[in-house]
Amino acid sequence: MRILLIEDDPVLGMAVRDQIVADGHGADWVTRLADAEHAVHAAAFDLILLDLMLPDGRGSDFLRKLRSTGDATPVMVLTARDQISDRIAALDAGADDYLVKPFDLFELSARIRAVGRRYAGNPNPLVTLGDIEVDLSARSVRRAGQTVALTAREWALFEAFVQRPHQLMSKPQLEERLYSFDAEVESNTIEVYVARLRKKLGADVIETVRGMGYRLGTPGGGA
């Protein structure tokens, strides 16, 4: 997933960003709402992690404005405000989840995975593709009963296909899932990772639609 983190605390922001990246997601981190508004107009995100108190305003106001435009991007609130009334207000403003600071980074990872599954239309973390078994929660893959080791970026790309099994994804869409704004993207990056996934999971695991992009194939059944 590509995740936008809106957090002004430098220590917490760095820890959360590093956790997101370690989990194989693309992370864009901003510290002000003005930068967040620019980011959501410049790119498509799968999830927004939102602090409620920012230097230039309240996260709840940003969230209400986002929802008023029809933007349904999942939003998880990260805040030190732990009153029930604060949680209710955030959820009523359009938040999908609420995590109180300080929180465990592994719990954050689990909640991110859960939100991703819900919005992909598949709350079940276990997916079977021919002889391939995928556990989205454990971030593990088995082929013909044997564990297949994927790198963080290989997993990020494969997860994008698994969560959108019938969707054709363009090269720019896939690139956005691997990198942040400030990362350099080689022209053949997606081709390289698709080739690696085919080598590990089978030649038909990802189908190429010439001139348009890629989509999940039918392993063992012909793409």
Cα separation, 126 vs 137, in Å, equals: 8
The rounded radius of gyration (Å) of the Cα atoms in the chain is: 18
Nearest Cα to 37, choosing from 52, 46, 25, 48?
Answer: 48
Which CATH class, in words, describes the domain spanning 2-119? alpha beta
Structure confidence at residue 183 (pLDDT): 60
Q: Residue written as tokens 């059944």?
A: 221
Which CATH class, in words, describes the domain spanning 126-216? mainly alpha
The answer on pLDDT for 42 being more than 60 is yes
Structure confidence at residue 71 (pLDDT): 84
Q: Global pTM?
A: 0.68
- What are the domain boundaries of the chain? 2-119, 126-216
Per-residue pLDDT band for 54 (boundaries 50, 70, 90) equals: very high
